[in-house]
Structure 1
Amino acid sequence: MVCAFFFVIRFWQSFHFYWIHRLIHRPAIFKRVHHVHHRNINTGPWSGLSMHPVELVLYFSGILIHFVLPSHPVHVIFHMFSLSLGALYSHAGFDKLLVAGRETIKAGSFHHQLHHRYFECNYGSEEMPLDRWFGSFHDGTPEATTRIRARKKRLYANK
């Protein structure tokens, strides 16, 4: 059971990140808080934790689950490392290492790079299909770009 909790943490982290990220993309909050992070259109590892203090508190608030669910201190440390290093990884600026034209190591997150390019897509991570379920998934294709741009027009039509 102790080892299984490491997987629970990863799924909780993905679930929490998606909903917090959707929240801070609300226009009033985005303008005051999340725009600091989105100044990084061309992401690099250090842009992952480049956040407004309010956003940092929300981002790391997922660890509060350890006050509700009984967990070992190693789980808390794993969770904190995962949050910290995950932000660096998902903003690496590339998604794979190519050697002699062949993919050798999957690294980075194309999924989140698309979020920084188009803003109103890919709020979550690839571990949970929440973006697919709620219509905010972008896979990098021209069709997805057209769909996301139409979605963005609908979202901001009433604003």
Structure 2
Amino acid sequence: NFGIVYGISSFGLSQDLSISKKEAQAYIDRYFETYPGIKEFLDGLVEHAKEQGYVSTMYQRRRPIPELKSSNYMQRSFGERVAMNSPIQGTAADIIKIAMIRVHDRLKEEGLASRLILQVHDELLIEARLEEVEQVERILQEEMQQAAKLNVPLEIDMHRGNNWYEAK
């Protein structure tokens, strides 16, 4: 599903799923027939990028896409995938950065010794003292869910452990 939304080609999907290119194209076509709004949205992103030369995240952070003007087909195709991918993944990156700032600030405001030590994709890793764990979990829940105002809830899940392996 995500590969299609990010502009995966029938060749790329066929490689990922170990199916023929024809089967992969049929899968992509069925996906867009089932969810026509997604196709319209993605096509609109590409069209906007071709007209304006860039795409934007929900927070108006711009990514220029000069590849869309290339005479090279592969470069243009790459630019189209960037136009589809960047507003989605870029917005997710913006949201996690906002969450990081909010969590960091709350930990300091509440005078906790616990610290935000790592961010990986959509995850935050906190090193917390045992006596602060429940308070830190509450802060994470509140600040991560409130990092963005969306039409859908931001669901989060948490794991804890005595070491990083246990917390997976």
State the TM-score, normalized to the length of structure 1.
0.29
RCO (CA 8 Å, sep 6+): is it higher in 1 or 2? 1
State the TM-score, normalized to the length of structure 2.
0.28
Q: Which structure shows the bigger proportion of residues in strand conformation? A: 2
